[in-house]
Amino acid sequence: MSIIGDLISFILHIDVHLTTLVNDYGLLIYLILFAIVFIETGIVIFPFLPGDSLLFAAGALSALSGSTLNWFLLIIIMAVAAVLGDSLNYYLGSKLGNNMLKHKRLKKFIDGKRMRQAELFFEKNGGKAIMIGRFIPFIRTFIPFIAGMSKMNYTHFILYNIIGGCIWVFIGVGSGYLFGNIPIIKEHFSLVVLLIVAISVIPIIISYFKSRKSDSGDKTI
């Protein structure tokens, strides 16, 4: 199976894979989860790693009796990972942004279309894009990078970064803890993951149609 196929399988069946990881690695699972969230949010060439579905699945597992995972510890660890990841991404954008986009090899890993969507989203929403972007797959990886490239004030950035990161993790883990083990959700977990992804991209769709409407309005003037 291809790497992309393996990744899709991991995301769609993340509850099964996460259970296996917990059984195999015990308390080291916290470090693994920290690494996944940190890399997904912190390194601009890895926007395809699972985010929302990982939080939900981890929260669901933490609700099981006798689980190695503790929901409160999960929220703290993954919130720290999310905040530090965005901070690293901001730093990379501020110091290396333009050079990375010009680098032939690195450019292959950076989706130009997603980057442009993130730029538009950032321009329209300003500082709030840091917080709102947390809930949008792919976009959340590019937003802090663009903030760094644009030399956004770091004090302003870190405020939205902390608020957005904590809310994102709390909602993701909390919803999994509360609803992840409801029989109908547990039996159709793959569909739930797809629904989570679908809901997450709604802001992109809204932003896209707003920009098109705005562009068409400008042309008629």
CB within 8 A of 131, min separation 6: which ones? 160, 161, 163, 164, 167
pLDDT for residue 79: 96
Domains in the chain, number: 1
Which structural domain, as residue segments, surrounds residue 78? Answer: 3-220
At 35-66, the pLDDT tens digits run: 989 988 887 766 666 778 889 889 998 998 88
At 136-193, the pLDDT tens digits run: 777 788 888 888 887 888 898 999 999 999 999 999 999 889 888 888 887 777 777 7
Top-confidence range, 99-108, 116-125, 130-139: 130-139
pTM beyond 0.85: no
At 191-206, the pLDDT tens digits run: 777 777 677 667 666 6
In DSSP notation, 121-147 reads HHHHHTTHHHHHGGGSTTHHHHHHHHH
Separation between Cα atoms, residue 103 and residue 91, nearest integer Å: 17
pLDDT for residue 139: 76
pLDDT for residue 85: 93
Top-confidence range, 8-12, 36-40, 73-77, 107-111: 73-77
Higher pLDDT residue, 151 or 214? 151
